[in-house]
Structure 1
Amino acid sequence: MESWPDPSWLPQVLQVLGSRSGSGLSIPGLLLELLALVGSVAYGCSRAFPFSAWGEALFLLLQTMALGFLIQHYGGHTGRGLLLVASYWLLLGALLSPQAPPWVVTFLQGANLPIIILSRLLQAATNYRQGHTGQLSGLSTLLLFGGALARVFTSLQETGDPLLALTFASSAACNGLLLGQLLYYRGGHSPKPPPRPKMD
């Protein structure tokens, strides 16, 4: 099975480009997402898995880097966006280097599970706090949800690695939460505001 560029983040990038804004998107969540993707690419390469098993993470990495840059750029921090992109390229290069300790790459792949969960929960918390999903793309979230479900089975078939399958299953569950929020808030619901402190 060949790996093609994953289209799931493309609608998100186009939505940010169209609105010239990244409002409502969690920057800490996006940075964690990039860390998880760097770990996935390095792990796939170090284990000499077929490109179809990890190539999707590479395309997602490129698209997420573009999204991170655009959010910073439209927020008036172009230099910070360029620094973000350069930092993740340097990290990936270091992890792919023959001098990189194998345990570091394995640790990063193992840490993907909590990293992915935390990144999605940060976005979910941002949505709840704002009472809307901002520029979060419904199409991207749907594609990420469906893609993660499919990758649970393909990763088991192609690599037999339960760690990869568990990572994709967790990603599907978290993307399902975001999808639920998109449906809920677009239906006109909003969270209850926190209670105001009593004034003496």
Structure 2
Amino acid sequence: MVQLPKALADPIVGIIGPECYTTLVEDLNLGDQACLKLALSKGLGIAIITGGSIVKIPQIITILKNRSTQGLSLSSYLLEVVANVINLAYNARAGNPFSTWGEMLFLTTQNIIITLLIFAFSKQTVGGVGALGAILAIGYMLMSPQLVNPTALASLFAGTIPLNIASKIPQIMTNYTNGSTGQLSAFAVMNYLFGSLARVFTTATELDDPLMLSGTSLGALFNAILAGQVLYYSSAKAKAKKVGTKAKAKVAKLEKAATSSPRTRHRKRD
């Protein structure tokens, strides 16, 4: 039997529970599939929360560095923020384990910052202040059982499924129309994709909630489409750059050949 120091054992027990701690850690019984799935789900949940706390930081840095939000869809971010706030309220009030939704807290904060930056660099300061006030008011109302009862909140959460889809479509269409992903951070998109795929697993493992599972599954699908666009347009841009470099080299070679030809040298002597 393995005995870990209390300082190590207590956090693990808090994550996977005393029963699975005894099975997996003390007895080293890795044949218990239920406990293994739970431990994997909890580990993924912690990883997702950690990733979610920084996933959009590169996007924010890119915007501030370039002082541009070109290629970013304001309507997409506004819809995503509203969906995030509803998701936060639903999970917090339902008492779901923090490991199954904790990243939403950080994603919401980062999405609000990006939304405000879009307003700022579009010189729409008043609109940004109004949007922030509206978001805070919506969050307050959703967290209050007196203002929004559990049934209404569940209905709103169900509505975030098409809302999440709607939030991705403007960005997908913007990318398609521009033929590029603009200032969209590849790191953020890929992190989002892997996080959403892992969240499908943790939701299926830890929660008996078809609404949550449907939402995370559709979110993963549309994140995959965005990731596909990032890969496609990055590849196309790299190919175009390569062709351009070759063309410049060819022109330079022809110019060099022209200036070094006997006829050219003869003209220079004349």
Q: Which runs of 5+ in 2 are unaligned?
A: 1-41, 238-270
1:59: how far off?
1.0
Q: Of the candidates 61, 69, 89, which is equivalent to residue 108 of structure 2?
A: 61
Give the aligned partner of residue 142 of structure 1: 190
Counterpart contact for 1:39–1:109, Cα < 8 Å? yes
- The aligned counterpart of 2:63 is 16
> SS in structure 2 opposite 1:187?
helix
What CA distance in whole angstroms lies between the structure 1 residues aligned with 2:186 and 2:120? 22
Q: CA deviation at 1:135?
A: 0.8
Instruction: Say whether the 8 Å CA contact 1:5–1:59 is kept in structure 2.
Output: no
Q: Does 1:168 align with 2:216?
A: yes
Query: Is the 8 Å Cα contact of residues 51 and 191 (structure 2) preserved in structure 1?
Result: no
Matched with 2:226 is 178
Contact 2:55 2:187 in 1 (8 A): yes
Give the % identical residues: 35
3-state SS of paired residue (2:82): helix
Higher helix fraction (1 or 2): 2
Superposed, 1:63-102 pairs within 5 Å as 63-99=110-146, 100-102=148-150
Pick closer, same or farther for the CA change 1:153–1:30 going to 2, 3 Å: same
- Find the aligned partners of 1:103 and 1:24 in 2 and give their Cα distance: 38
Alignment correspondent of 2:259: none
Runs of 4+ in 1 over 3 A off after TM superposition: 1-5
Encode CA deviations 1:156-194: one digit per residue, 9 max, x unaligned. 2232222212211111110111111112222227xxxxx
* Cα pair 2:72 2:184 within 8 Å, conserved: yes
The 10-residue stretch of structure 1 (142-151 or 180-189) with the greater mean CA deviation from structure 2? 180-189
Q: CA deviation at 1:143?
A: 0.4
For the residues of structure 2 that align with 1:45 and 1:125, how far apart are their CA atoms?
Answer: 33
Q: Paired residue for 1:158, among 206, 213, 233?
A: 206
1:27 and 2:71 are equivalent in the alignment:
no
Shift of 1:102: 1.8
**Bigger relative contact order, structure 1 or 2 (CA pairs below 8 A, ≥6 apart):** 1
State the 1:5 CA deviation. 6.3
Cα offset for 1:66? 0.4
The answer to whether structure 1 residue 110 and structure 2 residue 170 are counterparts is: no
Specify the code of the residue in structure 2 equivalent to 1:12.
Q
The yes-or-no answer on 1:130 pairing with 2:181 is no
Give the whole-Å Cα distance in 1 for the aligned partners of 2:60 and 2:209: 31
CA distance in 1, matches of 2:145, 2:161: 25
* Larger gyration radius, structure 1 or structure 2: 2
Deviation at 1:39, TM superposition (A): 1.1
Partner of 1:193: none
Aligned to 1:195: none
Partner of 1:198: none
Unaligned runs of 5+ in 1: 190-200
Question: What amino acid is the match of 1:153?
Answer: F
**Aligned CA-pair RMSD:** 1.5
